[in-house]
Amino acid sequence: MALHGAVRGTMDVDIVINWDQDSLRNTVHALNEIGLVSSLPVGADEVFRFRDEYIENRNLIGWNFHHPGDLSQQVDIIITYDLKGKKRKKLATQSGPLNVLNLTELIAMKIHSGRPQDLEDVKALELIR
Fold classified for 2-128: Beta Polymerase; domain 2 (3.30.460)
User: What local confidence, expressed as pLDDT, does residue 62 receive?
Assistant: 93
What are the percentages of helix, strand and coil residues in the chain, rounded to 5?
40, 25, 35
Integer Cα distance of 111 and 85 in angstroms: 18
Task: Compare 11 and 63 and report the one with higher pLDDT.
Answer: 63
**How sure is the predictor about 129, in pLDDT bands with cuts at 50, 70 and 90?**
confident
Q: What is the mean pLDDT of the chain?
A: 92
Q: Give residue 56's identity as a one-letter amino acid code.
A: E
Query: In the chain, where are the structural domains located?
Result: 2-128
User: What local confidence, expressed as pLDDT, does residue 21 receive?
Assistant: 97
Q: What is the pLDDT of residues 88-116, one digit of tens each?
A: 989 888 989 988 889 999 999 889 888 88
Is the pLDDT assigned to residue 11 strictly greater than 80?
Answer: no
